[in-house]
């Protein structure tokens, strides 16, 4: 049965015309609903410009997510980049970096028929300090399996569980939480992937364990390869986290964040591999030590004012609180 568009809705205690009953594109109802999205990060370059990390890979993942949810996505890579450029130039502040959320909201259609979507880009100023080490817990909530809500699809509704895990973690004094998969092995954190060091090697679970196909992991893997550090994707048991030599979480927004305690237990200060990779990551994305596999796309031009500001903050980076 096809439903007809009504004339009015009742919203917040009063009748409103259908077309005026709107939610803001940034509210949680919208961003954690039927949409697919990407978070991309712009870093200040030595010439003062702002450049986004591995943008084409983010565009391609957005295409994959949209395709898996049968959402039409017509924007070319050039149009996508143009949108980011226009917003960056409108909002950029010389002493800040920026995180952008590009969201394809489903705005028309029902049950997958006549689906239409609109691309919205929002941007937030980000501070430039190094992330503080965090307390990491293990949630009682679990990542949904591939046959329910695939972790491979970066859709807002996938983050309902992450939100519950964060609420659970806050009560335990944990800044982030590990989500286990349906088999009880490590999948990922609420908005980032897990890196674990044991006996000199870095391990992370493969995406088939219930993790997003992370782009930051590709960067970390490339840096590890260049530095001769063994890097392997393999399943990780919950108990391995506790006996790990070093742990970190990584993602576009999280960046590379060291873990100081896991489930309330301090990690031994036995290994500095992830700290080395963290330094390499920041040096690559800020153009201090570029890496051929970590491509950077400029979205604001180089200016003398920005260049001066870029130099200033590079010299004065202090640890920041985890987000
Ligand atoms: N897992 C989840 C659930 C995430 O939201 C993110 C952040 N996009 C990641 C992992 C890390 O992915 P990426 O490195 O591509 O940002």
Whether 112 shows a pLDDT value over 60: the answer reads yes
Cα 152 from Cα 162, distance rounded (Å): 15
Burial (Cβ within 10 Å: 0-12, 13-18, ≥19) of residue 47: middle
User: SS3 breakdown of the chain: % helix, strand, coil, rounded to 5?
Assistant: 30, 35, 35
Quick one: tokens of 130? 């190094």
Round to whole Å and give the CA distance between 148 and 151: 9
Q: Is 214 in the pocket of ligand 1 (CB under 6 A)?
A: yes
CA of 229 to the centre of ligand 1 (A): 22
pLDDT tens per residue, range 70-84:
999 999 999 999 999
**pLDDT, mean of residues 275-295:** 98
Q: Could you report the per-residue pLDDT of 143-189, keeping only the tens digit for each?
A: 999 999 999 999 999 999 999 999 999 999 999 999 999 999 999 99
Q: How far is the CA of 279 from the centre of ligand 1 (A)?
A: 19
Number of residues that make up the chain: 323
192 lines ligand 1 (CB under 6 A): yes
Q: In this model, does residue 191 exceed pLDDT 80? A: yes
In ligand 1, the atom with minimum distance to the C-alpha of 151 is 3
- Which helix (H) or strand (E) segment is 232 a member of? strand 231-233
Dihedral sign of CA atoms 227, 229, 235, 239 in order: negative
Q: Which atom of ligand 1 is nearest to the CA of 252?
A: 16
């Amino acid at each position: 049965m096809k439903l007809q568009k009504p004339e009015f809705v009742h919203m917040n205690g009063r009748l409103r015309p259908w077309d005026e009953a709107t939610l803001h594109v940034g509210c949680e109802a919208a961003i954690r609903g039927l949409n697919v999205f990407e978070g991309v990060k712009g870093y200040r370059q030595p010439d003062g410009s702002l450049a986004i990390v591995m943008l084409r890979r983010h565009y391609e993942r957005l295409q994959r997510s949209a395709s898996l949810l049968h959402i039409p996505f017509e924007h070319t890579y050039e149009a996508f980049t143009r949108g980011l450029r226009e917003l960056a130039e409108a909002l950029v502040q010389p002493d800040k970096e920026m995180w952008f959320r590009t969201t394809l909201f489903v705005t028309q259609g029902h049950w997958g028929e006549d689906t239409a979507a609109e691309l919205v880009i929002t941007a937030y100023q980000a501070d430039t300090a190094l992330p503080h080490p965090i307390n990491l817990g293990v949630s009682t909530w679990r990542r949904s399996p591939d046959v329910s809500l695939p972790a491979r699809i970066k859709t807002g509704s996938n983050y309902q569980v992450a939100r519950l895990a964060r609420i659970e973690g806050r009560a335990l004094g944990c800044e982030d939480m590990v989500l286990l998969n349906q088999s009880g092995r490590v999948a990922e954190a609420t908005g980032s992937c897990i890196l674990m060091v044991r006996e000199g090697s870095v391990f992370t679970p493969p995406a088939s364990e219930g993790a997003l196909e992370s782009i930051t992991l590709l960067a970390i893997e490339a840096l590890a390869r260049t530095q001769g550090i063994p890097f392997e994707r393999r399943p990780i048991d919950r108990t391995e986290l506790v006996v790990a030599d070093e742990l970190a979480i990584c993602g576009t927004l999280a960046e590379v964040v060291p873990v100081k305690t896991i489930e309330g237990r301090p990690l031994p200060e036995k290994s500095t591999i992830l700290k080395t990779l963290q330094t390499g990551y920041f040096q690559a994305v800020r153009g201090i030590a570029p890496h051929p596999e970590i491509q950077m796309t400029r979205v604001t031009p180089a200016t003398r004012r920005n260049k001066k500001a870029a130099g200033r903050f590079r010299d004065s980076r202090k640890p920041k609180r985890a987000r």
